[in-house]
Amino acid sequence: MEKNINYNEKRKISFFSILVNLTLSVIKMVGGYISGSAALTADGVHSLSDLAASVSVYIGITISGKKSQSFPFGLYKVENLVALISSFAIFFAGYEIAKDVFFGETMIIKNLPVAVAVIGLTVIITFLYSRYEKKKGEELNSPSLLADAEHIKVDFYTALVVLVGIVANYFGFPIGEKIAVLVVVVFIFHSGFEILKEAVKVLLDASIDNDTVQSIKEILDKEELVEEVKLITGRNSGSFKFVQLNLALKVETLDEAHELSHKIEKKIKDKIPFVEKVVIHYE
Ligand SMILES: [Zn+2]
In this predicted model, what pLDDT tens digit does every residue of 87-131 receive, in sequence order?
787 787 788 778 877 777 777 889 999 999 999 999 999 999 999
Any idea what the CATH number is for the domain that residue 215 is in? 3.30.70.1350
- Within this chain, do residues 36 and 6 fall inside the same structural domain, yes or no? yes
> 122 vs 34, 83, 188, CA distance in Å?
16, 25, 17
Q: Cβ(61)–Cβ(6) under 8 Å?
A: no
Host domain of residue 222? 210-282
pLDDT surpasses 80 at 164: yes
**pLDDT tens across 30-59, in order?**
999 999 998 899 899 889 888 888 887 787
| Contact by Cβ (8 Å): 123, 160 | yes
Residue 2's pLDDT band, with cuts at 50, 70 and 90, is very low
- Beta strand pairing status for 275-282 and 240-249? parallel
Evaluate if pTM is beyond 0.75.
Answer: no
Whether the CB-CB separation of 90 and 158 falls below 8 Å is answered with: no
From 203, 223, 253, the end of a domain falls on 203
Same domain, 49 and 116: yes
**Residue 181 CA to ligand 1 centre (angstroms):** 14
144 and 251 both lie in a single domain: no
CA distance 122 to 102: 25
Give how many domains the chain has, as a whole number.
2
* Ligand 1: centre distance to CA 280 (Å): 38
Distance 187 CA to ligand 1 centre (A): 7
- End position of a domain, from candidates 171, 203, 235: 203
Residue 260 CA to ligand 1 center (angstroms) comes to 42
Q: How far is the CA of 44 from the centre of ligand 1 (A)?
A: 10
* Same domain (yes/no): 154, 245: no
Clarify whether residues 223 and 164 are in a common domain.
Answer: no
Q: Are residues 142 and 218 in the same domain?
A: no
Q: Which residues surround ligand 1, an ion (CB under 5 A)?
A: 50, 155
